[in-house]
Amino acid sequence: MNETLSLGRIAGVRVGVNWSVLVIVVLVTVALARGEFPAAHPGHSAVQYWALALLTAVVFLASLLAHELAHALVARRNGVRVDGITLWMLGGAARLHSEAATPAAELRIAGVGPLTSLLVGGVLAGVAAGLDALHASGLVVEGVIWLSAINILLAVFNALPAAPLDGGRLLRAYLWHRTGDRLRATRGASAAGRALGWFMVLTGFATVVFGHSLSGLWPALIGWFLVSAATAEVRQAEMRNALGGVPVSRVMTPNPVTVRDTATLADFLAEGPFGRYRHSAFPVLAADGSVVGLLTVRRVETTPAQARPGTTVGEVMRPVDDIVTAAPDEPVLDLLPRLQSSPVRRAVVLDEGRLVGIITLADITRALAWPTGPTQARPRSTGPHVPHVTKKASWKKAS
């Protein structure tokens, strides 16, 4: 989940929010201001209800952030690099650059999330009791009680043994410890996640159809997210298993067709698509043979036809500083996250500054689809893995 707005860093961890986080704010605020608060404490003004409801929603987001930050800090202490945290519509996502090296580390990273939510819920329960003893406003106490209850609920839900929830990570750590096979453990936890997800989808829609209540749409949405995330997780694990230890040089297209930076766009178009330029992206070379950028057909298309005879490739290309580069001996798994976040989904492969190839996401997909013979040993990786994202559902889910 990509961030829309960066909030800076907390304890050295990059924190951002996706625009969809507004859905949580709106849902919580409306539910409290028009339902929970007036029903429990009538007689207050609308301004008081809405102001406290909005403040409660913001504090709820802060508790989700605390949950994810706990994951990130413990992951970092266990040798896992953290790329950042993003809050979004269904809670939070701590983006881990690699996976835990041992089942014990996996256990610690996964377990700290629910424990943090449980601790936050307990502290807030104590605060509510203290405010009530001091005869504070019952409306304020109600807000604190709601925050306490939702955090405890999140802790319990997150502890369910189903991926991608924290309980699913705990289940995977247990299965990994028992079998010694990380991939098999991931498949087991993902199967549990899909089962829970489909259960939530079916019961949610049953509530809508037979109970005539739209409240079932929310658990159905969360269930669908669990099914999708659990499926993606096992596919990612299978990809890591297949590509572990494979260098870029084995997957790339060697000696790609290039174009000079001084060539005009009109000349370039005259030689494609049935001539020399048959692809949709080309490394751009300077007169000395060095790579200075990447030209895509889409970039050419944005130039008006009448301007193409007088416009050079160098003027419209993506500069080399704006494109992904890789070394031929770099593991494909290290390169993959950079490719996935690249607008052009390509990387230029350089060997000591010299162009030796180009690699795309399609190249990696073809490598994964290629059948492996029974006598072929699949290389194992001892290095970094595909970035791992701990996503959990929010609100009536986990953060």
The phi, psi pair for 208, rounded to 5°, reads -70, -45
* DSSP for 29-73, written as a single string: HHHIIIIIHHHHSTTS-HHHHHHHHHHHHHHHHHHHHHHHHHHHH
Type of residue numbered 294: L
Torsion of CA 334, 81, 196, 20, to 10 degrees: -90
Selecting among 68, 106, 142, 233, the annotated active-site residue is 68
Mark whether 68 is an active-site residue: yes
- Report the helix count and the strand count for the chain, using DSSP H and E: 13, 13
The phi, psi pair for 82, rounded to 5°, reads -110, 125
Torsion of CA 399, 3, 94, 367, to 10 degrees: 120
Residue 318: strand, helix, or coil: strand
Buried b (16+ CB within 10 A) or exposed e, 364-390: beebeeeeeeeeeeeeebeeebbbbbb
Give the active site residues: 68
